[in-house]
Chain A
Amino acid sequence: MVDFIVWPHELLVPEECRPNIVPFTRTGGRSLGGIEPAVRTDLGFWSIELSNIAVYSREQRQTWNAIRQKLGGRVGLIAVPGWSFDTAPYVSQEYEPPLLTTHDDDALFDDDTPYEQGAISVATVGFTPLGATTIRLRLINGDPNLVGVRFSYQHALYETGPALSVEGDVWTLPIWPAVRQAIPDGEELEFDMPTCLCHLEDDRGLDGGMNNIQFEQRSVIFTEANDYWNQLALGLV
């Protein structure tokens, strides 16, 4: 398993998060009439833009520097959250924080901390193979509308399209990008804070500095680490 870190989503919060997929089409050029037919040759990868991350405390600056030391330019791997409160299927249709609960028998962890459980609970139905572009989901706890939402499984981020069929609480949905890593049957998916395994887009993407008022807003762009998924699929990781 490759060693990678997770972006501290409670400490370094962007003003705006823009998770978008970059598809790619090719075209033979524009005709005199102005029509340009295009053919898609790539379903694409994620580009996650974190804009205006407020940096003011010593802790934030230290964490920032530690992250960029660990990444060392575009090579390093980091799981970046794709903030999705706007589309996530919360039961109340408003943001719900993750729940803190105990185990079945009211037990806590060794150090008396409770379990953290997402507010939304959705599980897969059936095996979803590598490269698939449709998925079957069972809604356990959440708003019964899974169209156009984002979720992740083991730091691979996906977005759903228009529903293909709804049978009771089982939704069949097209997703993009293609499945990066096979998802077994009955697996819980991350809807509360989906994450995406990324590289920095630019070697110097995490540049920072200090100004007189000691308040800065930094922006950084990440692109999905497809080299990792390709190697993982071939068992080279």
Chain B
Amino acid sequence: MTIKSLRVLCQVDLPSGTIRLWDGSGGPFVDDDGNIWRACVLTEDALDTIEMAINAEAFTLSLVLNGIDKATSDAVWADYQAGTIKGSRFRILIQDCDEYDQPSGTAQVKFTGKIDNLIFGDQATDTGIRSTITVEITNRFTLRTLTNGAVLSDVDQKARAKILNPSGALDRFCERVILMLSKTIRWPNW
């Protein structure tokens, strides 16, 4: 049977505790393990970015959350002030639901990244002031969008090889093939 209902979940493992959010405006959502997920609003383009992240096209996922309650916001702010927020694990999950909108099966992790930066913002709109938190998340594909991520220079190549394959022998490809020394190769864009 096709899935008629699902929930987009977002889990942030901050040093001060785990924050569980789901994308929507309804009441609290309870998963199979009894965890309570509170509603928040991912902005409409956030879903597109998540989708790109799922396709491994992304890079830095900039996620704007609004409609966050005060306690969550305060917790995030406290961690931010303490300087411990960078590197916290951030996950996007999709939970399939049955016909009664109850969770069925375990939630599938669709994106995992690490928090790189947080931007707190207040924006005046015609209906009032909107408080948002922009979460900048990086994953291993981040290098692709950086300028030097597109350059296959000797130094970059060696550094990346060390990260991707730490136990392997040192990558000396560019030393051996002279033409590669100053060659720029763009990552495939699919």
Contact = CB atoms under 8 A, between A and B. Distances in A.
A113 to B, nearest CB: 36
B36 A177 contact: no
B154 interface: no
B95 to A, nearest CB: 10
Interface stretch (A4-12, A41-49, A80-88, A104-112): A41-49
B100 A174 contact: yes
Interface string A161-180: 00000000000001011111
Interface residues of B, number: 27
Interface stretch (B3-11, B134-142, B174-182): B3-11
A52 interface: no
Contacts of A24: 24-25
Contacts of A231: 38, 69, 71
Interface in A1-59: 24, 26, 37, 39-45
Given A41-B6, A41-B7, A203-B128, A177 B26 contact: yes
Contacts, number: 88
Given A133-B101, A227-B69, A42 B24 contact: yes
Contact of B4 (A39, A44, A176): A39
Given A41-B24, A230-B69, A131 B30 contact: yes
Interface string B123-136: 00001100000000
Contacts of B29: 131, 178
Contacts of B26: 42-45, 177-178, 226
Interface SS of A by simple majority: mixed
A39 B3 contact: yes
A42 B29 CA distance: 10
B166 interface: no
B38 A41 contact: no
A23 B101 CA distance: 12
Contacts of A134: 100
A43 B23 CA distance: 11
A212 B67 CA distance: 42
A177 B39 CA distance: 14
A175 to B, nearest CB: 9
A45 B69 contact: no
Contacts of A236: 69, 71
Contacts of B71: 231, 234, 236
A129 B32 CA distance: 12
Contacts of B102: 131-133
A129 B25 contact: no
B100 A229 contact: no
11 contacts: A37-B2, A39-B3, A44-B26, A45-B27, A130-B36, A133-B102, A134-B100, A176-B101, A203-B127, A227-B67, A233-B27
What 3 A-B pairs come out closest when comparing CB atoms?
A131-B30, A42-B24, A233-B28
Interface of A: 24, 26, 37, 39-45, 74, 129-134, 174, 176-180, 202-203, 226-227, 229-231, 233-234, 236
